Amino acid sequence: MARHLVTSALPYINGIKHLGNMVGSMLPADVYSRYLRQRGHDVLYICATDEHGTPAELAAKEAGLPVAEFCAQQHEAQKAIYDGFGLAFDYFGRSSSAQNIEITQEIARELNRYGFIEERSIRQVYSLDDERFLPDRYIVGTCPHCGYDKARGDQCENCTRVLDPTDLIDARSAISGSSALEVRETKHLFLLQSKLADEVDAWVEQHGKEWPTLASSIARKWLTEGLQDRAITRDLEWGVPVPGDTWPELAAEGKVFYVWFDAPIEYIGATKEWSDRAPAERDWKSWWWQADDSVRYTEFMAKDNVPFHTVMFPATLLGTRAPWKKVDYVKAFNWLNYYGGKFSTSQRRGVFTDAALELLPADYWRYFLMAHAPESDDTSFTWELFAATVNKDLADTLGNFVNRVLSFSRKRFGDEVPAGKEAGEPERKLGEEIAGLLAEYEEHMETLQFRKAAQALRALWSAGNSYLEEKAPWLEIKTDQEAAALTLRTAMNLIHLYAVVSEPFIPASARTMRSAFALDGDDAQWVTPEEARALNAVPAGTSFTVPPVLFAKITEEDLDAYRARFGGAEEAA
């Protein structure tokens, strides 16, 4: 089996993330990692909080905390929420770790050694009122490309164009709001991307052919426009320090590396954290350094992160001339909107992950988000669509099937799976249908087509309902108890199958379904085509219990309360 390295874009440290952040990287990476583990692959899923940069300093200042303390608290708060969503990271690290500092500095030294870093004097914005140079994100203003009036000095959140602070119209300090700005000379390190452009282009040409169109087109756009040399240091108090053994003057001035230089390196840093914190030795380099062809590396991210991961980070690794593992597949997502408008962390618009878990268990959100994942285009969250999906797919199609099968069987046959007749033609047809649908589900999971995978999973659940309606055990039992027993035993085997194959999407509910049956040594990781056709994993005589209702329906009263709290179409417009 292959070894799979999986990373998702690092959630930024300044505040709890919204559902758009969740579906754009971490959740699909978790679904994919869970699936791969079930299929027997060696999987390493790595993520971390992205803790450096201007927003961390600004948020810490607003909270009245030292930035290190603020980041430590926020890391724990975010990790608790991701645990609540059932995200099964192999390791969830911190970009402020000693390991990331060490590796970032060493990569910078190697880039310098091979002539891909240059110290340049530049003219940079200085705030007279703040008495400091302002890094790009400390400057806000109007985007010259789209007119968005809250664009940051490094990138416009609205049109995603990369900016320099001096591009902004009506620029002002994000610290004080002062427009008393002037341009002064200072020194910074530049990554000479222009010298690496041909190598990056060749690398994207070789590896990007199998990427989704969204990822490959963004990378191609950047390359077509031409790679520019880019400053990779900033004037901040918090960040990976420029190493004094290589750049003593800049180190003495307190320069730190640009967050977008060290953040992707944290994938490597977090893997070393994972290795260093293990009681037994783990070989982190086997995943990243001279990794053999058995390692397949998949990255998950929203589209605004794609340029950095498909161009800048590969350029960084290529320029070291070291055998770092580079990404094989980039799974990029469009945006999940809120009633057609953007979720916004800064403006607290939309549903945030902490509030989501207060309302309903994680599986409701996991299934909905993946069933409506913004893969081919932007999608929109509405409370009406959320309720319709939960009620139809989870409550009616899956939950009701589980409850009525187990409840009816216990009522008529007791607390053990009944035997009944030998399987007949309806069961043979059902087995073939289940095997076919399972193959479709596997194909979509293998190709990371999550909406299609959710559709195939829903079709598996629906097949059980169709079989139950066709056989109608509530009628069979009046004339042929053995026939009714066969129908219920078959349906119980479907429940067990659903528990196994639904685990990537709804892990908590899958555990509940599986634990309903007292099966000794039930260690099935997946379902083979033969097992799908046979539907006999749960033999007659197996004790079972009826679990609580798996999924409660969302009522109109619930919807009214949700819209009142979070807003609906009118408030989002």
Q: How many CA atoms lie within 13 A of 78 on its CB side?
A: 27
Q: What is the CA radius of gyration of the chain?
A: 27
pLDDT at 340: 85
Q: How far is CA 472 from the centre of its chain?
A: 42
In this predicted structure, the answer to whether residue 416 has a pLDDT above a threshold of 70 is: yes
Hey, is 31 helix, strand or coil?
helix
Q: Which residues pair with 417 in a beta bridge?
A: none
Q: Are residues 372 and 273 in the same domain?
A: yes
Q: How many CA atoms lie within 13 A of 30 on its CB side?
A: 27
Q: Residue 431 is part of a domain; what is its CATH number?
A: 1.10.730.10
d(CA 144, CA 310): 25
What tens digit of pLDDT does each residue of 504-549 get?
999 999 999 999 999 988 989 999 999 999 999 999 999 999 999 9
**Residue 154: closest CA among 184, 113, 122, 125:** 125
Within a domain: 561: no
Calculate the average pLDDT of the chain. Answer: 94
pTM value is 0.92
| Number of domains present in the structure of the chain | 3
Check: CB of residue 155 under 8 Å from CB of residue 139.
no
Segments of 73-165 assigned E as strands: 91-94, 117-127, 132-133, 139-142, 151-152
**Residue 248, CA distances (Å) to 71, 242, 320, 457 in order:** 28, 8, 21, 58
- Residue 94: pLDDT band (50, 70, 90) is very high
Q: 509: which residues sit within 8 A by CB, 6+ positions away? A: 363, 398, 502, 550, 551
What tens digit of pLDDT does each residue of 35-64 get?
999 999 999 999 999 999 888 988 898 899
Which of 125-129, 164-168, 418-422, 496-500 comes out lowest in average pLDDT?
164-168
d(CA 383, CA 557): 12
- Residue 175: pLDDT band (50, 70, 90) is confident
pLDDT at 345: 60
Q: Are residues 461 and 322 in the same domain?
A: no
Within a domain: 559: no
Q: 248: which residues sit within 8 A by CB, 6+ positions away? A: none
- Of 330, 362, 380, the residue at which a domain comes to its end is 380
| Structure token pair of residue 208 | 């990007």
Angle between helices 362-371 and 450-471 (to 10 degrees): 110
Within a domain: 568: no
Does the annotation flag 555 for ligand binding? Answer: no
| Structure token pair of residue 59 | 């948020």
Within a domain: 86: yes
Within a domain: 192: yes
Segment 237-265 shows an average pLDDT of 95
- Residue 300: pLDDT band (50, 70, 90) is very high
Segment 351-357 shows an average pLDDT of 95
Within a domain: 540: no
- Residue 353: pLDDT band (50, 70, 90) is very high
In this predicted structure, the answer to whether residue 275 has a pLDDT above a threshold of 80 is: yes
- Percent of all residues in the chain with a pLDDT value above 70, rounded to a whole number: 98
What tens digit of pLDDT does each residue of 200-209 get?
999 999 999 9
Q: Are residues 275 and 361 in the same domain?
A: yes
**Residue 491, CA distances (Å) to 408, 458, 527 in order:** 11, 16, 16
pLDDT at 91: 97
- Of 195, 219, 252, the residue at which a domain comes to its end is 252
- CB burial of 229-244 (b: ≥16 within 10 Å; e: otherwise) equals bbbbbbbbebbbbbbe
Q: Are residues 101 and 144 in the same domain?
A: no
| Structure token pair of residue 480 | 């042929």
Which of 367-381, 385-399, 559-573 comes out lowest in average pLDDT?
559-573
pLDDT at 281: 76
* Helix runs in 182-304, H state only: 193-207, 213-225, 248-252, 259-276, 285-288
Does the annotation flag 71 for ligand binding? Answer: no
- Residue 570: pLDDT band (50, 70, 90) is low
Q: Are residues 180 and 208 in the same domain?
A: yes
Look at the block and give the residue holding tokens 């990378």.
219
- Of 234, 252, 270, the residue at which a domain comes to its end is 252
Q: Residue 324 is part of a domain; what is its CATH number?
A: 3.40.50.620
d(CA 332, CA 215): 6
Within a domain: 555: no
AA letter at 564: A
- Higher-confidence residue: 343 or 43? 43
Q: Are residues 361 and 392 in the same domain?
A: no
Q: Are residues 206 and 224 in the same domain?
A: yes
In this predicted structure, the answer to whether residue 34 has a pLDDT above a threshold of 60 is: yes
Q: Are residues 526 and 507 in the same domain?
A: yes
Q: Are residues 181 and 209 in the same domain?
A: yes
pLDDT at 566: 87
Q: Are residues 450 and 513 in the same domain?
A: yes
Domain extent, residue 315, equals 3-106+260-380
Does the annotation flag 156 for ligand binding? Answer: yes
Q: Are residues 408 and 504 in the same domain?
A: yes
What tens digit of pLDDT does each residue of 424-474 get?
999 999 999 999 999 999 999 999 999 999 999 999 999 999 999 999 999
Does the annotation flag 159 for ligand binding? Answer: yes
pLDDT at 279: 77
User: In the 3-class helix/strand/coil scheme, how is 71-98 assigned residue by residue?
Assistant: HHHHHHHHHHHHHHCCCCCCEEEECCCH
Within a domain: 399: yes
Alpha carbon dihedral 16, 21, 23, 26, in 10-degree steps, equals -80
Check: CB of residue 233 under 8 Å from CB of residue 257.
yes
Q: Are residues 172 and 245 in the same domain?
A: yes
Check: CB of residue 297 under 8 Å from CB of residue 310.
no
Residue 425 has what DSSP assignment?
H
